Structure 1
């Protein structure tokens, strides 16, 4: 029997570059998170959509954080990269991670933190929102169930609600200042963005936390394609609430710094 020749369409396809295997990358900045990082990694491994590459950015840790991430890579259901950012500060770690991912083929970027627990549908919701035309997606944050009792979780909900209200009412956030989109609550530990938009706005401010509001306002000056996705849920650590108290945590989220407190517990 004479072998058949490949159809012309097949030959043409063979000459085209293969698409990136994992255009979605999940970036997790981590500083001294050896105790909590395994829970975050397990939550990512339990996602319903695991078609992504994970990047853990070790931000000057001395407690074995990077070693734990590399050990997880041996059993992870997706590719895992681990890089080091020696410049302390969540902004520096996130910016280094996003730019590394883009340089390695990422077109979609999602971020959570090394003390957070993304719910199982988190990555799927992030991808769907970006595929539907959003440039930046802001998810919903809830308190982790394992760090505080009902009163602590209620206090956390109150803080999130107050922060969202303050952001909407703050005079500096009004659209007359050049913003194209209204302000909406944005938590850096639960976000997704296109690589193109990330580069267009100049990236994450390379500074210690809080960086979320500054970054959101960069995006608001660039586009109206900002979406809130309620199905994109992350269990947020309440360590800061325990360390700072209600008033101190509110001060932090108002960008007033840690006050009398030392290093951010997160």
Structure 2
């Protein structure tokens, strides 16, 4: 399934001033919140959103379609990827955007809200730093029903600690700059050169962390940049479901997923 609102011609050459945003989605009842945040970008410019439905069993697709029809000023493409996993869904979205001519592709999730200067900062980072191929930023807790007092300190602190622990565990400094899937953007050329996201599911591996380290190893440590001012609020629902300790084990020891750790693929 692929539907457009509104339609745009396929580009034969990279769209240097344009930006595509891929949003993988699986049963996301609040996905219109994400779309509204993208529509409210101060520097929206030439923006196209690719929502990749990953086999939703609820009305996620219909919600996106209704939003697109109500807001024809925002270009939205709905894709379908039946292979389970954010890796598979995102790879489909990224490769479709690249085929459509986009030179820069960003990603956020259906339970996240990019700050209103997000797209502008992404464009600016790539324009000012031609050596940078992949960018990430700061994660903050979304003020949804899963938010708890103290999350504003917990989320950024836990992410920094996870980077340190993974770098130490693997004896690999590239983990110090891994970017998270709900707040990232990459040049199309780098995506193709590295092979892109592994088409895996969350109960196997973390495709965003693997992709970050892959870019660092193949294109150089300086190819990845984390800008603290690039901010996305994301739901704490995974932390509430897993618990903080199990979240850490989930990322540090992927081999235990589905065994000691019961995977909750809520994406």
TM-score, L = length of structure 2: 0.84
Match of 1:232 in 2: 230
Is it true that 1:48 corresponds to 2:49 in the alignment?
Answer: no
Q: C-alpha distance in 2, partners of 1:173/1:248?
A: 23
Match of 2:195 in 1: 202
Match of 2:165 in 1: 166
Match of 2:8 in 1: none
Mapped contact 1:167–1:185 kept (Cα < 8 A): no
The CA deviation at 1:92 is: 0.1
Higher mean displacement: 250-259 or 209-218: 250-259
Mapped contact 2:42–2:116 kept (Cα < 8 A): yes
Gaps of 5+ in 2: 1-11
Q: C-alpha distance in 2, partners of 1:182/1:157?
A: 16
Mapped contact 2:14–2:101 kept (Cα < 8 A): no
1:100-119 aligned within 5 A: 100-119=96-115
C-alpha spacing 1:235/1:182, structure 2 compared with 1 (3 Å): closer
Q: C-alpha distance in 1, partners of 2:252/2:122?
A: 27
Mapped contact 2:246–2:261 kept (Cα < 8 A): no
28, 33, 36: which is aligned to 1:39? Answer: 33
Mapped contact 1:60–1:85 kept (Cα < 8 A): yes
C-alpha spacing 1:58/1:164, structure 2 compared with 1 (3 Å): same
C-alpha spacing 1:76/1:237, structure 2 compared with 1 (3 Å): farther
Q: C-alpha distance in 1, partners of 2:175/2:252?
A: 18
Match of 2:137 in 1: 139
Q: C-alpha distance in 1, partners of 2:241/2:72?
A: 33
C-alpha spacing 1:77/1:260, structure 2 compared with 1 (3 Å): same
The CA deviation at 1:53 is: 0.7
1, 20, 28: which is aligned to 2:23? Answer: 28
Mapped contact 1:243–1:265 kept (Cα < 8 A): no
Q: C-alpha distance in 2, partners of 1:115/1:182?
A: 24
Mapped contact 1:167–1:184 kept (Cα < 8 A): no
Mapped contact 1:130–1:192 kept (Cα < 8 A): no
Q: C-alpha distance in 2, partners of 1:171/1:78?
A: 43
The CA deviation at 1:20 is: 4.0
Aligned-partner SS, 1:212: helix
Please tell me the root mean square deviation across aligned C-alpha atoms, in Å.
2.0
Q: C-alpha distance in 2, partners of 1:221/1:37?
A: 34
Residues 25-77 of structure 1 deviation map (CA, whole Å, 9 limit, x = unaligned): 011000111x2201111111111111211110001111111111122212153
Mapped contact 2:13–2:101 kept (Cα < 8 A): no
Aligned-partner SS, 1:222: helix
- Structure number with greater Rg is 1
Aligned-partner SS, 1:221: helix
Higher mean displacement: 144-153 or 188-197: 144-153
Gaps of 5+ in 1: 1-16, 175-180
Higher mean displacement: 254-263 or 207-216: 254-263
Mapped contact 2:81–2:89 kept (Cα < 8 A): yes
